[in-house]
Amino acid sequence: MENNEIKPKKEKVPRHKMSEQDPKVRVTNFNEVPTGYPEETAIAEAKRCIQCKKPGCIAGCPVDVDIPGFIALIAEGKFIEAALKLKETNALPAVCGRVCPQEDQCEKLCILGKKGEPVAVGRLERFAADAERQAGKISIPPPATPNGKKVAVVGAGPSGLTIAGDLVKIGYDVTIFESLHKAGGVLVYGIPEFRLPKAIVDAEVDYLTKLGVKIETNTVIGRLKTVDELFAEGFDAVYLGVGAGAPVFMNIPGENLSGIYSANEYLTRSNLMKAYLFPEYDTPIVRGKNVAVIGGGNVAMDSVRTALRLGADNAFIIYRRTEVEMPARIEEVHHAKEEGVRFNLLTNPVEYIGNTEGWVTGVRCQRMELGEPDDSGRRRPVPVKGSEFVIPVDMVVVAVGTMANPIVPATTPGLDTNRWGYIVVKDASGLTSREGVYAGGDIVTGSATVILAMGAGRLAARAIHEYLSGK
């Protein structure tokens, strides 16, 4: 007798949402917006992973995380083991779980995403890292046998922290030299508390120091000592991860008026210098009531959302293209809209207007329309004649990009840079024109994501190990 029974179709489980602070509440504080998965939800989301034989998600990860591996452990309730699996290749999992653009990387290549929603890789990564930290069970692997080689890392941002962690685990004596008083780079001076709590960054840095990484803060390489002097002190290789933190302005009339910040300064004052905790921290910062932020990237979203939390009644984004071309993460744009940010799209500033006391009072703008694609692949904005109008403001934050930090290149003879001042590398290894000197992150690529900088650090670690193993 034939078995004509029809097998029941496996029910599709929708992607599990993460709870968040209510928008009306969160604009009054700097607490983290998403609150994370509870254990039951994390397990349920992990069980959505079908454990592909050829997982595309790994191919989409710049630091080669075994994504199906750590997710399978979460599904089994082995949260600490999942965190350890992450840390095999990712030095900063709690950070990456919060700020990585997973939608354009691992989750983009998830097979479930072809006919539905991908597995929430980023949320699960955050969950595992947080579970380990909250349980107080952060295990430190035994120190590697020293190999007698010393490596200097310039810059304690994502790239520098990553390469330091990779090298110290295989026996190198690693020292990071950081110009600021606190390690973390853009993680501490750029990304706001409500998106990345600084306690998370501190915990990740602390883990690296317990691995054996030495960090010297308040040390500006290129001023206190040069790259050549690092070699003279006995370092066998140098990695330059100094970032691209120099501000960029638009060079339009009125730009020197008071009340106009670069995003770098505005966010550094608020985050690293704790202006958001005033008067506990006596950091001066203008608290505008009508604030315009120029730009459409993540830095612009961070700035405009910070302005709201610092007391702005109205906060505007001014961006010369449409939302489709906006480089900011979809999640960040969504959160900004929920919080009441007003978007002036297809709009470009042409002049800042000020009062007799030299303070900005308005932004004269021009409507734009999209023409043919430019070198970036995005359609070029074209001014619309006779479309000028004024937005009344009392503060402006300019978030239109950054430039290369010039200090190290200027003091390192023979170090090749391009016409924009970024360090030229021979290939993905990060090798520069100087023997034994490697570079990666924003100082090579220009402003990019945290995870791409970390990926550059991992590749350079392998290259430095190969280089020094042959000496």
Summarize pLDDT for 382-394 with one digit per residue, the tens.
999 999 999 999 9
Can you give the pLDDT at residue 375?
A: 81
Can you give the pLDDT at residue 4?
A: 56
Can you give the pLDDT at residue 8?
A: 52
* CATH code linked to domain 246-402: 3.50.50.60
Summarize pLDDT for 94-119 with one digit per residue, the tens.
999 999 999 999 999 999 999 899 99
d(CA 224, CA 432): 22
Q: Which residues contact 385 (CB under 8 A, 6 or more apart)?
A: none
Size of the chain, expressed as the number of residues it contains: 471
Q: List residues bridging with 342 in a β-sheet.
A: 316
More confident residue, 378 or 407: 407
Please say if the pLDDT value at position 7 is more than 60.
Answer: no
pLDDT band at 1 (very low <50, low <70, confident <90, very high): very low
Can you give the pLDDT at residue 20?
A: 96
d(CA 218, CA 438): 22
pLDDT band at 378 (very low <50, low <70, confident <90, very high): confident
DSSP 283-318: ------SEEEEE--SHHHHHHHHHHHHTT-SEEEEE
User: Domain segments of the chain: what residues?
Assistant: 23-135, 150-245+404-469, 246-402
Average pLDDT over residues 218-240: 98
State the CB neighbour count (10 A cutoff) for residue 15: 16
Can you give the pLDDT at residue 374?
A: 83
- For CA atoms 336, 341, 342, 346, the dihedral sign is negative
Q: At which residue do the structure tokens 């089994």 appear?
A: 76
Summarize pLDDT for 260-288 with one digit per residue, the tens.
999 999 999 999 999 999 999 999 999 99
pLDDT band at 245 (very low <50, low <70, confident <90, very high): confident
Can you give the pLDDT at residue 376?
A: 77
Can you give the pLDDT at residue 10?
A: 52
Can you give the pLDDT at residue 9?
A: 52
Query: Would you say 227 and 413 are in contact if contact means Cβ atoms under 8 Å apart?
Result: no
Helix axes 298-309, 330-338, angle to 10 degrees: 20
Instruction: Say whether 150-245+404-469 and 23-135 share the same fold.
Output: no
Mean pLDDT of the chain: 94
Q: At which residue do the structure tokens 């790994």 appear?
A: 58
Query: Would you say 287 and 293 are in contact if contact means Cβ atoms under 8 Å apart?
Result: no
Can you give the pLDDT at residue 11?
A: 62
Lateral strand order in the sheet of 150-154: 214-216, 173-177, 150-154, 237-240, 437-439
d(CA 303, CA 263): 7
Can you give the pLDDT at residue 285?
A: 93
Give the tokens for residue 97.
């779980």
Can you give the pLDDT at residue 121?
A: 97
Percent pLDDT > 70 in the chain is 98
Please say if the pLDDT value at position 207 is more than 70.
Answer: yes
**C-alpha separations of 457 from 117, 169, 320, 360, 438 in Å:** 31, 14, 34, 42, 10
Percent pLDDT > 90 in the chain is 91
Looking at residue 429, its amino acid is S
Please say if the pLDDT value at position 69 is more than 90.
Answer: yes
Looking at residue 268, its amino acid is T
Check: CATH 3.50.50.60 for 150-245+404-469?
A: yes
Stated pTM of the model:
0.92
* CATH code linked to domain 23-135: 1.10.1060.10
d(CA 207, CA 447): 26
